[in-house]
Amino acid sequence: MKKNIFLKLMAFIAMSFLFITTVASAKENSESEKEASKAVSAAKREVHKHAIGFGLGQTFLLGNFEKKGDNKIAADLLYTYTASYSFDLMLNAHYSEHEYKGKAVILRGYTMSIKGRSYEFDAFSPFVLAGLGFYMPQIKNSSGETSEAKYTFGMNAGAGVDLRLNQKVVAGILAQYHLPFEIKQDETENIRGSYFKLLLTMMYLF
């Protein structure tokens, strides 16, 4: 009799242990699946999303600008809108002053570009971009005279990569070339030149 009770007790303990381990294993698998799902959703691009952020890096003066100013670190204000899985709209606003030996180049730009993506690898997304914009470059000569402030049209092109860190933050690298069209001046020399920006970017999605 005692032996039967002992066997039943051992069987009950064994069944209880098996049940507890099964439930714990199922819970652990469920949590792992949730974490994996979060990771996938964080890496996947979402359409119709806005993002605002900044780019910080070097501005390289080219052409006629190169002789009148020095390269320097500058910041750009960036906005993007994810129109589809392949294309984004990007707006850029920037301002910087580049002084060199009593001369200076003043750059202002407000541009619109289209970012195109051919493929994505997990959270890593390379892209190319091109667009147009409004520019107001000015030149200050060694005698202190500054050219007239006039807007001109221009174009830009570049490439870069985005790395989605999570569902809200995207870091990246942007290389962008800007070419304002020539501006004629009455009192000083005509303004012509171009510049290239190499930026580290950080964007917040909402």
Tens-place pLDDT, residues 3-49: 555 555 556 555 655 555 565 555 555 555 545 444 444 456 789 99
Residues 148 and 123 in one domain: yes
Q: Which residue has the higher pLDDT, 184 or 46?
A: 184
Residues 61 and 2 in one domain: no
Residues 57 and 100 in one domain: yes
pLDDT tens across 126-181, in order? Answer: 999 999 999 999 999 888 889 999 999 999 999 999 999 999 999 999 999 999 99
Residues 60 and 114 in one domain: yes
Return the pLDDT at 45. Answer: 74
Mean pLDDT of 85-108: 96
Residues 64 and 80 in one domain: yes
Mean pLDDT of 175-203: 94
- Structural domain including 27 reads 1-43
Residues 151 and 64 in one domain: yes
Return the pLDDT at 121. Answer: 86
Q: What is the mean pLDDT of the chain?
A: 86
Residues 22 and 105 in one domain: no
Q: Which helix H or strand E contains 66, and what residues bound it?
A: none
Residues 118 and 56 in one domain: yes
Residues 178 and 192 in one domain: yes
Residues 19 and 88 in one domain: no
Mean pLDDT of 114-133: 93
**Residues 129 and 117 sit within 8 Å (Cβ to Cβ):** no
Residue 193 CB burial class (10 angstroms; 0-12, 13-18, ≥19): buried
Return the pLDDT at 39. Answer: 43
CATH number at residue 64: 2.40.160.20
Residues 167 and 138 in one domain: yes
Residues 121 and 56 in one domain: yes
Q: Which residue has the higher pLDDT, 121 or 92?
A: 92
* Number of domains the chain is built from: 2
Return the pLDDT at 66. Answer: 94
What's the CA gap between 184 and 90, in Å, rounded? 29
Residues sharing a CB contact under 8 Å with residue 82, sequence separation 6 or more, in sequence order: 45, 46, 47, 48, 49, 51, 88
Return the pLDDT at 22. Answer: 63
Q: What is the DSSP letter of 190?
A: P
Q: What percent of the chain has pLDDT over 90?
A: 67
